Amino acid sequence: MNIRAAAYTQIHKYTEAIRDCLKSVEIDPGYSKAYSRLGLAYYAQGNYRDAIDKGFKKGGCNTNSWILRDANCHTIY
């Protein structure tokens, strides 16, 4: 499923990628690559908070130096 999620991301089918990533981490909660791909898919949709909280952080990415802004230039992290 996670490889399919990567393929969905490449063709900009982010909803499908998110679905597959969520299923992957349901099966294996320690699968960091699925969390990273989940973060990427959320980020591509403009859902920056979920990208960080549900994806990148759980995937082990260091987000301490990140400053992300939403479309209205509000700091979200």
Cα(35)–Cα(75) distance, integer angstroms? 22
Structure confidence by residue, pLDDT tens digits, 7-65: 999 999 999 999 999 999 999 998 988 998 999 999 999 999 999 889 888 776 655 55
Angle at 63 between CA 50 and CA 12, to 5 degrees: 45
What are the residues whose beta carbons fall under 8 Å from the beta carbon of 10, sequence distance 6 or more?
none
Q: Which residue has the tokens 């969905």?
A: 8
**Contact status, residue 29 vs residue 56, Cβ threshold 8 Å:** no
**Contact status, residue 40 vs residue 23, Cβ threshold 8 Å:** no
Stated pTM of the model: 0.77
Cα(41)–Cα(47) distance, integer angstroms? 9
